[in-house]
């Protein structure tokens, strides 16, 4: 395999994610999450949209002061007031970035901006020039790029490059594109605008058709080298490309996606959990990589396979993404293998005859109860074994108390 090419992970959980319904965070929460994003190893943290509110301004400023390893980006439209406000918020970062954007699709020009193509071209020129007079690191986004006329899109991007933008972002703002179409759009931008310059192509995909991650990965194939994404895939409407999915796709399928990322994958689950705790809601149970069931195996055949060798049904280990290693969920589809393994973990070794009796009781209970907890399992044991287990536990508790009391 050739040397994997390094791609940048641009996290916009604190900006695109935070601006979606139910996901707002206060200053202290934003700082806590930003610290965790830095521990996770993302390259860029988009900390907010400073002109939007005083709270956003303060958050960008605080994150800029606090996180000294990552690049900190502040979002702004193309007006002078927006750009100066964003710069004021981000300028003390160790690595500040101004991220300016304007829409380029005719739908947005006509119905939202009420501007002509020539006017938007000029707005791009002025904005990038002003931003570039403040910092070297300027990213330009063409909002609704995937529904824009490709000739015009390339013209706008070329203007941004002429004025010194170092990153060109191609957002699929409304989650409309498909992998093959997006690959073509990004290839065209690379061939016509970027050519052999060191300008980075970035992509920012929304998930309205559930294609955000697939589209982002297709763009890598066409030359994109920065992916904008969010933890747990939060973001406007159906969300953004999920960071954990992008990163683990590149990690697990390095044979097909030969790109390296700076992310410490074991920090993925703790980050996902922190975000859920802050915003007060988590991901769906079957969410890839970080969902409660992502590493759970209930069917007997699956449990047997995983216990023999996790490779049978797991393409990555829970530990590799920081999920605690308990793989087996006991329920009505579980088999004897998993049951006896759980009893062993609970300190009870069952004879084959005891396993038979206990397994029968277990299936009866599992028919009535959705989830079987350790307490339920203990109650299924023959009386003598429960007593033995209880004694073993109290012996253990006594030993622990003793060790604690005597500092051993």
According to DSSP H, which parts of 222-282 are helical? 243-252, 268-279
Q: Taking a C-beta distance cutoff of 8 angstroms, is the pair 142, 104 a contact?
A: yes
Tokens of residue 62, six digits:
């605080």
Residue 224, exposed/middle/buried by CB under 10 A (0-12, 13-18, 19+)?
A: buried
Q: Which of residues 327-386 bind Zn ion (CB under 5 A)?
A: none
Q: How far is the CB of 75 from Zn ion (least distance, A)?
A: 10
DSSP label at residue 6: E
Return the one option of ligand KIV, Zn ion, none that residue 30 interacts with (CB less than 5 to 8 A, by type): none
Return d(Cα 170, Cα 266) in angstroms, integer.
Answer: 29
Identity of the residue, 241 or 306, whose beta carbon is nearer to ligand KIV in the bound complex:
241
Say whether residue 228 binds Zn ion (CB under 5 A). no
Sheet strands (E) in 88-196:
96-103, 138-143, 167-172
Which residue number, 214 or 330, has a Cβ lying nearer to ligand KIV?
214
User: Least CB distance from residue 137 to ligand KIV, whole Å?
Assistant: 16
Site string for ligand KIV, 135-174 (x = CB under 6 A): ------x-x-------------------------x-x-x-
Nearest to 231 by CA among 86, 17, 403: 17
Q: Which of 8, 9, 11, 16 binds Zn ion (CB under 5 A)?
A: 16
Q: Are 350 and 315 in contact (CB under 8 A)?
A: no
Task: Give the CA angle between residues 12, 15, 20 to the nearest 5°.
Answer: 110
Whose Cβ is closer to Zn ion: residue 16's or residue 43's?
Answer: 16
Say if CB 368 and CB 376 are below 8 A apart.
Answer: no
CB closer to ligand KIV out of 143 and 244:
143
Q: How far is the CB of 305 from ligand KIV (least distance, A)?
A: 42
The token duo for 115 is 């501007």
* Other beta carbons within 10 Å of 215: 28
With CB under 6 A as the contact rule, the residue among 183, 204, 225, 327 that binds ligand KIV is: 204
Write the interaction track for ligand KIV spanning residues 15-54; mark x where CB under 6 A is met and - where it is not: -x--------------------------------------
What is the CA 114 to chain-centroid distance, rounded? 35
Q: Which is nearer to ligand KIV, 73 or 161 (CB)?
A: 73
Residue 172 binds Zn ion, judged by CB under 5 A: no
Among the residue ranges 13-21, 79-87, 158-166, 339-347, the one whose residues contact Zn ion (CB under 5 A): 13-21
Q: Minimum distance from CB of 197 to ligand KIV (Å)?
A: 21
First-residue to last-residue Cα distance in the chain: 51
For Zn ion, the closer of residues 232 and 358 by Cβ is 232
Stretch that binds Zn ion, among 12-20, 69-77, 122-130, 207-215 (CB under 5 A): 12-20
What are the beta bridge partners of residue 260? 6
Residue 145 Cβ vs ligand KIV, minimum distance, rounded to whole Å: 8
CB 233 within 8 A of CB 239: yes
- The interface with ligand KIV within residues 73-112 (CB under 6 A) comprises 101
Which of ligand KIV, Zn ion, none binds 101 (CB below 5-8 Å, type-dependent)?
ligand KIV
Token reading at 386: 């429960």
Comparing CB distances to Zn ion, the nearer of 169 and 271 is 169
155 makes contact with Zn ion (CB under 5 A): no
Interface with ligand KIV, residue 233, by CB under 6 A = no
Give the integer Cα–Cα distance in Å for 295 and 369: 21
Residue 143 binding partner per list ligand KIV, Zn ion, none, with a CB distance cut-off of 5 to 8 Å that depends on partner kind: ligand KIV
Query: Residue 155 is encoded by which pair of tokens?
Result: 């013209």
- Interface residues with ligand KIV (CB under 6 A)? 16, 101, 141, 143, 169, 171, 173, 204, 206
- Interface residues with Zn ion (CB under 5 A)? 16
């Amino acid at each position: 395999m050739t040397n994997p090419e390094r791609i940048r992970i641009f996290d916009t959980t604190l900006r695109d994610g935070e601006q979606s319904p139910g996901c707002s965070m206060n200053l202290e929460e934003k700082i806590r999450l930003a610290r965790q994003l830095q521990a996770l190893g993302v390259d860029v943290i988009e900390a907010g949209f400073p002109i939007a509110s005083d709270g956003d301004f303060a958050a960008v400023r605080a994150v800029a002061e606090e996180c000294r390893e990552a690049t900190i980006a502040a979002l702004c439209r193309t007006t002078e007031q927006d750009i100066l406000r964003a710069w004021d918020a981000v300028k003390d970062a160790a690595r500040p970035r101004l991220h300016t954007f304007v829409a380029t699709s005719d739908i947005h020009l006509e119905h939202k901006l009420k501007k002509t193509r020539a006017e938007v071209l000029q707005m791009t020129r002025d904005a990038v020039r002003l931003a570039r007079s403040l910092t070297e690191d300027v990213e330009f986004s063409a909002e609704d790029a995937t529904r824009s006329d490709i000739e015009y899109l390339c013209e706008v991007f070329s203007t941004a490059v002429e004025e010194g933008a170092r990153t060109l972002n191609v957002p699929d703002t409304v989650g409309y594109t498909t992998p093959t179409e997006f690959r073509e759009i990004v290839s065209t931008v690379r061939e016509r605008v970027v050519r052999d310059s060191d300008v980075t192509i970035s992509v920012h995909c929304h998930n309205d058709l559930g294609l955000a991650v697939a589209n982002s990965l297709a763009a890598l194939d066409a030359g994109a080298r920065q992916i904008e994404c969010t933890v747990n895939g939060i973001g406007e409407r159906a969300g953004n490309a999920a960071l954990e999915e992008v990163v683990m796709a590149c990690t697990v399928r390095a044979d097909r996606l030969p790109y390296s990322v700076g992310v410490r994958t074991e920090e993925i689950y703790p980050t996902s959990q922190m975000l859920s705790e802050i915003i007060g809601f988590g991901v769906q149970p079957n969410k890839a990589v970080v969902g409660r069931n992502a590493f759970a195996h209930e069917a007997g055949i699956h449990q047997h396979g995983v216990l023999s060798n996790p490779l049978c049904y797991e393409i990555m280990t829970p530990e590799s993404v920081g999920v605690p290693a308990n793989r087996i969920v006991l329920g009505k589809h579980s088999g004897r293998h998993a049951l006896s393994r759980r009893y062993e973990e609970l300190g009870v070794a069952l004879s084959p005859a005891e396993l038979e009796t206990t397994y029968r009781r277990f299936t009866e209970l599992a028919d009535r109860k959705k989830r079987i907890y350790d307490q339920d399992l203990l109650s299924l044991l023959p009386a003598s074994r429960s007593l033995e287990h209880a004694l073993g536990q109290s012996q253990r508790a006594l030993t622990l108390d003793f060790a604690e009391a005597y500092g051993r």
